[in-house]
C-alpha cells in the first residue's frame, strides 16, 4: 500500500474524494473543504496547512482518504491540548507543528478516515504515524472521530480522549408539543414560557433554504456571524466569499433561520444538514433579546428536524444549558499519537483520569434531562458513508 500527502484537496479531485468520503455529510464534502482552501481560511498563510492523505494499493486503486492538516497552534480544534503544548515548552521541547486529522473550526463528530472498507483503517493510521516520525512532528491527532476509528487507533497504541456533546434525538414526534409531552411539568412550563416570550417581544422567525437564500440573505447572516466572532475573540475565521461558495456548491445542505421584529432583521442562526441530521454552527444578533438564542439555535432546530423527519440535531460544542432543553449528553472521542515517551506517559495518565471523570459525569448529566421517563442513553449513529463496500 502507498500513502501520499497532498497540499490541496483539489489535487485529489471531486470524484476521487467523493468516492471515499461520500457527499451526504456536509463537513466532509469535497466542496466544503475545497472552499476553506480557495478562500484562504486554511492554507500557507494560516495555522492550518492542508496535507490531505490518500492510500492506494499496488494497482493505484484508491483505498482511503483523510482531511489532514499540519498545525502550528491549537486554535479552531475544540479538543483542547493547550496544556500539553505548555508542558512541552516548559521542558524545552516543541509541540508544534503537529499533524491533525479534523475539519477546521468544526467540532462535529464523524468519520475522519474514509476507507473502502475497515481493513484499510490500520494502514491509514500507520501512514499518520510514519509521517509524524519522518517530518519530526510532535504528534498526530484524530479529532471528533468515529468510535470505530478510536478503537482501531487504541489497538495501535494511540491515546484516547473521551468527551461529550449534547444532541437532540427525534423519537417520532409529530410536533413540538409532542416533544413537551415527554417533559416533566416544570421544564415543560419553562420551555413554553421561553418560546412565548418571543411573541411578547414582537419577534418572529423565518426559515431560509434553497432558492430562498439570496445574496441579500447571505449578507445578513454573514453580518450576524461576523459580529459574534468579533465580540468573542476579535478573529473571524470564515470570509463572506466562503458563504457564497456554500450557497453555490452546498445550497441544498444550508438552512438559515432568521429572527425579525416586523420586517427588520435582528438575529440569525446557521445550520447545515445531511439526510438524517441538522448541524447547528453559528448565530448572531444585533442586540440582546430574552431567550432568542434558545429559540433560534435549539427550539427552531427541533421544529425543523421534526418537519423534515431528521433523526437528530447536533448544535455544536459545549453549553451546559442545552441539557435542560432536551439535548442529551453523548460520548465523543479523539485519538492521539504522542512520539516523546515521557510526555506520552504523562498524557496517558491525563487521558485515563479524564475517561474516569466522563464515566462519572455522564450518568449525572442524564439525570438533569427534562424527560419524565428517562430514555435509554443514546450513542452517535452515523451512516457507513466513508466505507464504500
pLDDT score, position 377: 59
- Location of each CATH 3.40.630.30 domain in the chain: 2-166+329-367, 171-310
pLDDT (mean) for 75-98: 97
* Distance in angstroms (rounded) separating the CA atoms of residues 142 and 159: 10
- Work out the average pLDDT over 327-335: 96
**What is d(CA 93, CA 242) in angstroms, rounded to the nearest whole number?**
37
H helices within 22-137, ranges in order? 30-38, 82-90, 121-134
pLDDT in tens, 135-194: 999 999 999 999 999 999 999 999 999 999 999 999 999 999 999 999 999 999 999 999
Residue with cell 449528553: 329
Q: Is the pLDDT of residue 271 over 80?
A: yes
- Phi and psi torsions of 112, nearest 5°: -115, -25
Q: Looking up cell 494560516, which residue turns up?
A: 46
At residue 212's C-alpha, the angle toward residues 191 and 195, to 5°, is 10
Edge-first strand order for the sheet with 62-66 is 2-6, 52-56, 62-66, 114-115
Which pLDDT does position 1 carry in this prediction?
86
Q: Is the pLDDT of residue 203 over 60?
A: yes
Sorting pLDDT into bands at 50, 70 and 90, what band is 233? confident
Between the CA of residue 17 and those of 79, 115, 183, 248, 361, what are the distances in Å? Answer: 25, 11, 43, 19, 39
Q: Which three cell numbers stand for residue 360?
A: 462519572
> Are the C-beta atoms of 166 and 107 separated by less than 8 Å?
no
Give phi and psi for 106, each to the nearest 5.
Answer: -135, 95
Q: How is residue 25 written as a grid cell?
A: 455529510
Q: Which residue has the cell 475497515?
A: 118
The per-residue pLDDT for 167 is 98
E strand or H helix that includes residue 343: helix 341-367
Task: Please answer whether residues 125 and 113 qualify as being in contact, where contact means their C-beta atoms are separated by less than 8 angstroms.
Answer: yes
Whether the pLDDT of residue 54 is over 80: the answer is yes
Asked whether the predicted pLDDT for residue 385 surpasses 70, the reply is no
d(CA 46, CA 89): 21
Output the nine-digit C-alpha cell for 72.
502550528
Hey, which bits of the chain come out as E strands?
2-6, 48-50, 52-56, 62-66, 68-71, 98-101, 114-115, 139-145, 159-169, 203-209, 254-261, 264-273, 277-285, 312-314, 328-338
Domain 2-166+329-367 has CATH 2.40.50.140: no
Q: What is the pLDDT of residue 378?
A: 59
Mean pLDDT of the chain: 95
Multiple choice CATH, 171-310, 3.40.630.30, 3.10.100.10, 3.30.460.20, 3.90.110.10: 3.40.630.30
Whether the predicted pLDDT of 386 surpasses 60:
no
pLDDT reading at 365 higher than 50: yes
Closest of 74, 73, 146, 63 to residue 112, by C-alpha = 146
Q: What is the mean pLDDT of residues 107-121?
A: 96
Q: Are 350 and 80 in contact (CB under 8 A)?
A: no
DSSP string for 193-233: HHHHHHHHTTEEEEEEEGGG--HHHHHHHHHHHHHHHHHHT
Amino acid at each position: 500500500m502507498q500513502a501520499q500527502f497532498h497540499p490541496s484537496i483539489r489535487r485529489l479531485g471531486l470524484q476521487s474524494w467523493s468516492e471515499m468520503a461520500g457527499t451526504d455529510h456536509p463537513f466532509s464534502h469535497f466542496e466544503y473543504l475545497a472552499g476553506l482552501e480557495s478562500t484562504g481560511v486554511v492554507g500557507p498563510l494560516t495555522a492550518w496547512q492542508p496535507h490531505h492523505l490518500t492510500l492506494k494499493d499496488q494497482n493505484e486503486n484508491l483505498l482511503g482518504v483523510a482531511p489532514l492538516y499540519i498545525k502550528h497552534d491549537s486554535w479552531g480544534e475544540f479538543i483542547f491540548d493547550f496544556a500539553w503544548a505548555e508542558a512541552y515548552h516548559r521542558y524545552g521541547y516543541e509541540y508544534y507543528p503537529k499533524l491533525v486529522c479534523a475539519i477546521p473550526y468544526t467540532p462535529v463528530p464523524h468519520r475522519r478516515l474514509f476507507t473502502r472498507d475497515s481493513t484499510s483503517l490500520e494502514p491509514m493510521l500507520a501512514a499518520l504515524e510514519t509521517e509524524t516520525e519522518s517530518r519530526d512532528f510532535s504528534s498526530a491527532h484524530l479529532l471528533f472521530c468515529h468510535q470505530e476509528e478510536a478503537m482501531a487507533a487504541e489497538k495501535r497504541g494511540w491515546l484516547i480522549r473521551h468527551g461529550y456533546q449534547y444532541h437532540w434525538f427525534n423519537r417520532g414526534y409529530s410536533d413540538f408539543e409532542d416533544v413537551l409531552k415527554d417533559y416533566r411539568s416544570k421544564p415543560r412550563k419553562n420551555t413554553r414560557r421561553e418560546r412565548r416570550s418571543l411573541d411578547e417581544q414582537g419577534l418572529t422567525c423565518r426559515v431560509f433554504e434553497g432558492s430562498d437564500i439570496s445574496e441579500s440573505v447571505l449578507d445578513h447572516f454573514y453580518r450576524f456571524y461576523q459580529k459574534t466572532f468579533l465580540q468573542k475573540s476579535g478573529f473571524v475565521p470564515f470570509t463572506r466569499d466562503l458563504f457564497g461558495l456554500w450557497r453555490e456548491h452546498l445550497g441544498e445542505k444550508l438552512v438559515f433561520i432568521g429572527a425579525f421584529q416586523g420586517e427588520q432583521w435582528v438575529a440569525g442562526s446557521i445550520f447545515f444538514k445531511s439526510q438524517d441530521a441538522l448541524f447547528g454552527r453559528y448565530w448572531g444578533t444585533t442586540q440582546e433579546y430574552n431567550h432568542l438564542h434558545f429559540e433560534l439555535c435549539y427550539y427552531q432546530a427541533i421544529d425543523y428536524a421534526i418537519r423534515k423527519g431528521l433523526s437528530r440535531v447536533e448544535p455544536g460544542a459545549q453549553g451546559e444549558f442545552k441539557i435542560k432543553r432536551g439535548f442529551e449528553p453523548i460520548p465523543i472521542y479523539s485519538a492521539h499519537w504522542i512520539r516523546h515517551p515521557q510526555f506520552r506517559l504523562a498524557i496517558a495518565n491525563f487521558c485515563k483520569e479524564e475517561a474516569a471523570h466522563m464515566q462519572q459525569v455522564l450518568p449525572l448529566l442524564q439525570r438533569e434531562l427534562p424527560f419524565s421517563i428517562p430514555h435509554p442513553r443514546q450513542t452517535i449513529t452515523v451512516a457507513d458513508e466513508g466505507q464504500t463496500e
